Amino acid sequence: MCSARSSACSARSERGIVADPRPARDVHGDPLPRRLARGAVRPLRAADDVRALAEHGAWLARPVTTGRRIAVTGIRGGSGKSTVAALAATVLARHRRDRVLALDADPQFGSLPLRLGVPPGPSPAGLARVSPATASFAEVEPRLARAGEGLWALP
């Protein structure tokens, strides 16, 4: 029942019920040397963070020679698809010189225009009359809502 190596036997009460053994010492998080080392490294870490952000920005700003489409999908409503799409479109528009168009294909739960802060606008049905092969951006722009610098949304 109780072995000599069991710490629970030493914590036995008068009735024979085994209580949880107390720890050998109080534990207060990381030891002092580790906390001091972390405090000494913290000021140097800010420069690394700035360098990493600059590298990510340079990577996002690389030229793209072909058209790109990013689709954000999910299997149920309310899972955050519109929020993720709005964040991705905002980041791409901020770091790229290309135009970014964000559109929501979810007819029931789509809230992308709301997330981007654009008012309800003209129906996307007007875009069906424009030929995608010959249309210029100047022809399509009146049917879009501007959501920021370099970012347009289809309301």
Model pTM greater than 0.95? no
Q: Where are the domains of the chain?
A: 75-154
* Residue 147 confidence (pLDDT): 92
The beta strands (E) that lie in 4-141 are given as 100-103
Cα dist from 13 to 17, 18, 61, 132, whole Å: 6, 6, 69, 82
pLDDT tens, per residue, the chain with 155 residues: 555 444 445 445 555 565 666 655 555 677 888 878 877 776 767 777 888 888 988 888 888 788 788 899 888 878 888 899 999 999 999 988 888 999 888 877 778 888 999 887 666 676 777 777 777 888 888 888 899 899 999 87
